[in-house]
Structure 1
Amino acid sequence: MIDALAWLVVLPAMLALAVLSIELSAAQLRPRAQPSTKPADITILIPAHDEEAGIARCIEAARASAPAGSSFLVVADNCSDRTAEIARAAGAEVIERHDPTHRGKGHALGFARRHLRAAPPAIVAVLDADCAVEGNGLARLAGTAAALNRPVQSAYLFRPIPDRGPLVAVSGFALLLRNLIRQRGLARIGAPALLTGSGMAFPWRCFDAAPLDTDDIAEDLGMGIALSQLGMAPAFLPQVTTWSDPATRSATLGQRSRWEQGFLRSAIRQAPQLLLSGEAHLLWLGLHLCVPPLALLGMLCTASLLASGALIALGASGSAAMMLVALLTVTAGLVLLGWWRFGRAQASARQLLLAPVYMLWKLPLYLGAIRKPERMWKRTPRD
């Protein structure tokens, strides 16, 4: 009986590690080539809340990355500054939304969709106002979305900025692990990509069907899952990178709190129906949602090992604990391989040694999620 309990204690951590290991292994393979075609017309949609300091720069960068003739639509969402005025001066069409009781990007995107329905474009590309797509990335995203007739997500990453400190660097690598490495793995497995909020392109039929106008703080994740269930599964285009500057150390913790709480709530709500869907690509998406964020996974493994040690002291076999340690070692090796191939610009080897400190740094985040969960969208402070 005590041996069965020992296996039960390590089972959740082992499942998460197994799924993560398969994704990290698949990510090492060369990405599949994606088709591309020239869409009829493209609208670059930029939701913006009090972005007067950077909106002109965002529009200028987007114009350089998009095909000639693209339209630019800025949603000045509950703004109290000159965002709308500056965006118009930069050559974008601007619509203004004033509804303080319904805040967040989901409502801004829904407002834009109602505006666009009068003359729908072939492709809608969504770009956050603090982001820039590298090279001709918007053109490539739009071309692939038109060819596949499905949403396409770029690799949304933080620019490496060394003077933000080691914990922000480790946070940037954790984002790269999720938004680039694991997305590559999902693509090779044949599972849908996750929508990560910026640097994504939609054929109009997909944008029109997406669940917008929501207060969900993880609206992008929910949108991708819903579209996958409707037969419009997003694809991943790793050759295109969307960059955003990382926040300061204090703001990073708040930002990660909203992202991870939103992810965990979506996972609890939607993973069971995906696992029971009977469709292979949705099954793996459900398994993907069973893997908690990296720091929380580390805490889960630590707690499982401590519980296993206590059961061994009470007479249980050590085989379950040994299996967990073996799987943890393999996963850690694959994470290091992913860092070596893709993440050395984000965090140095010395900074990676601070991963245990990073877990402790995020402990208040998870305690806060229990005491006072995030329910509303909040703008991350900019420098």
Structure 2
Amino acid sequence: MIDALAWIAVLPPLLATTILAIELGAAQMRCAALPSTRPAELTILIPAHDEEARIARTVQAARMAAPADAAILVVADNCSDATAGCARAAGAEVIERQDEAQRGKGHALGFARRHLRAAPPALVVVLDADCDVEGDGLSRLAGAAAALNRPVQSAYLFRPADHRGPLVAVSGFALLLRNLVRQRGLARIGAPALLTGSGMALPWRCFEAAPLDTGDLAEDLTMGIALAQLGMAPGFLPLVTTWSDPGGRVATLGQRTRWEQGFLRGAARHVPPLLLSGDWRQMWLALHLCVPPLALLGLLSAAALLASATLAAFGASTLPLLLLSLSLAAAAALVLLSWWRFGRGQVGPAQLLLAPAYMLWKLPIYLRAILAPERLWKRTPRD
């Protein structure tokens, strides 16, 4: 019985850290280049809620980065400021939506889809109002999606911002591990990419089939999984980066609360059907979703180590403790390698030492997920 308790304590984090280590290891290998072709018609779709301070800059940057004949459509969604007027002044087409009962990005995208159905473009690129795509990335992203006839996701990252403090920097590195490194791992393994909400290109057939018009906290996660199940698995283009500016500590914690609670709920909902799909690519995607956010994984692993060590002191087998320790060591080494290869510009070596403090900083997210879960979409405050 005591051996069984040790295995029960260790198995969930052991599975998660093993999956994480496999993906991080695969990410170190070269990803195959995606084909590219010029899309016939392209619409850049920018959902925006109270973004008057930023929307003109986003529209202008998109115009400079996109093909000359691309259309830019801004959805001014439940705005109480001058977002619509600023977007029009910057040269975008603007549609406005007011529906306080249905808030969130999914509803804004659904509203835009109904508008575009009158003359649908060949391709839609979704770009958040606080984001811009580096260099000629918009054209490259659209070209890859047009060639594959499937969605393609860029690497959606936070710009390094030392003035935000070390915990925000560590949060940016954690996002890089999820949105760049593990996405590279999925691509190298051959599994579908995850859509991450901004800097994603969808052929019209995929945009039409996507489940929009929801208040889901993780509408991008749900959209990518649904398209993979429909045979339109998203691809990943790691050399195109979509940048967003991080907020301060309070804003970052609020944003991660929405993202991570949405991820945990979405994973619980999607893992069973993906595992039962019979398609190994979807089954790996289910395993990917079994890895919780890294701060939560660290907390769970520490608790499992303590429990298994305590049980070993009372006579339980030490094998569960040994296997979990080896798995954690492998995952930690691969995280450091990933930092060396991809993340040194995001966070410094001294800041990495604050990883335990970062896990404790995020503990309220997981407590609120149990005691007071988020139900409604909330805009991240801007400076």
Q: Flag whether TM exceeds 0.5 (same fold).
A: yes
Structure 2 CA distance for aligned equivalents of residues 23 and 65 of structure 1: 32
Counterpart residue number, 1:347: 347
Matched with 2:131 is 131
The whole-number CA distance in structure 1 between the counterparts of 2:46 and 2:126 is: 6
CA shift for structure 1 position 78: 0.4
CA shift, 1:65, in A, is 1.1
Q: Which amino acid aligns with 2:106?
A: G
* 1:91 alignment partner, SS class: coil
Residue 179 of structure 1: how far off its partner (Å):
0.1
- What is residue 152 of structure 2 aligned with on the other side? 152
Are 1:207 and 2:207 matched, yes or no?
yes
Superposed structure 1 runs of 4+ greater than 6 Å apart:
none
Amino acid at match of 2:60: E
- Tell me how large the CA RMSD over aligned residues is: 0.6
- Rounded to whole Å, the distance in 2 between the matches of 1:4 and 1:382 is 50
Identity, in percent, stands at 74
Alignment of 1:154-193 (within 5 A): 154-193=154-193
Distance of 2:339 and 2:127 partners within structure 1: 27
Task: Tell me the residue number matched to 2:221.
Answer: 221
1:245 aligns with 2:245: yes
- Aligned residues between the structures: 383
One-letter identity of the residue aligned with 2:322? M
- 1:302 is the counterpart of 2:302: yes
Equivalence for 1:79: 79
Q: Shift in Å at residue 254 of structure 1?
A: 0.6
Letter paired with 1:310: T
- SS of 1:153 mapped into structure 2: strand
Structure 1 residue 2 displacement after superposition: 1.9
Equivalence for 1:68: 68
Matched with 1:36 is 36
Indicate the residue corresponding to 1:52 in structure 2: 52
Letter aligned with residue 361 of structure 1: W
After TM superposition, give the deviation of residue 39 of structure 1 in Å: 0.8
Distance 1:328 1:164 in 2: 29
Separation of aligned partners in 1, 2:61 and 2:182: 27
Residue 101 of structure 2 aligns to a residue whose secondary structure is coil
Measured in 1, the distance between the counterparts of 2:367 and 2:48 equals 31
Task: Indicate the residue corresponding to 1:194 in structure 2.
Answer: 194
Residue segments in structure 2 that go unaligned for 5+ positions in a row: none
| CA displacement, residues 228-271 of structure 1 (integer Å, 9 cap, x when unaligned) | 00000000000100000001011100100000000000001111
Q: Which residue of structure 2 aligns with residue 101 of structure 1? A: 101
Q: Distance in 2 between matches of 1:165 and 1:55?
A: 26
3-state SS, counterpart of residue 57 of structure 1? helix
SS in 1 for 2:153: strand
Instruction: Please list the CA deviations of residues 130-149 of structure 1 after superposition, one character each: whole Å capped at 9, or x if unmatched.
Output: 00000011100110000000
Q: Please give the alpha-carbon distance, in whole angstroms, between the structure 1 residues aligned to 2:135 and 2:218.
A: 28
SS at structure 1 position matched to 2:6: helix
Secondary structure at the aligned position of 1:47 is classed as strand
Shift of 1:5: 2.4
Q: Which residue of 2 aligns with 1:374?
A: 374
Q: What residue number does 1:329 align with?
A: 329
Distance in 1 (alpha carbons) for counterparts of 2:334 and 2:206: 35
In structure 1, C-alpha distance between the alignment counterparts of 2:46 and 2:9, rounded to whole Å? 46
CA deviation vs aligned residue, 1:130-186 (integer Å, no higher than 9, x gap): 000000111001100000000000000000011100000000000000000000000
Q: Report how far residue 276 of structure 1 moved.
A: 1.3
Tell me how far apart the structure 2 counterparts of residues 376 and 323 of structure 1 sit (CA, whole Å). 40
Instruction: Provide the rounded CA distance (Å) in 2 between the counterparts of 1:369 and 1:298.
Output: 17
Is the counterpart of residue 11 in structure 1 residue 11 in structure 2? yes
* Cα displacement (A) at 1:4: 2.7
Q: Letter of the 2:354 partner, please give it.
A: L
Cα distance in 2, alignment partners of residues 202 and 327 from structure 1? 37
User: Could you list the runs of 5+ residues in structure 1 that have no partner in the other structure?
Assistant: none
- 1:310 shift after superposition: 1.8
Partner SS state of residue 250, structure 1:
helix
Q: CA deviation at 1:306?
A: 1.0
> Which residue is 1:255 aligned to?
255
Deviations 1:341-362 (A, max 9, x none): 0001111110000000001101
CA deviation map 1:33-77 (0-9, x unaligned): 110001111000000000000100000111111111100000000
For normalisation by structure 2, the TM-score amounts to: 0.99
Question: Aligned partners of 2:5, 2:376: CA distance in 1, in Å?
Answer: 39
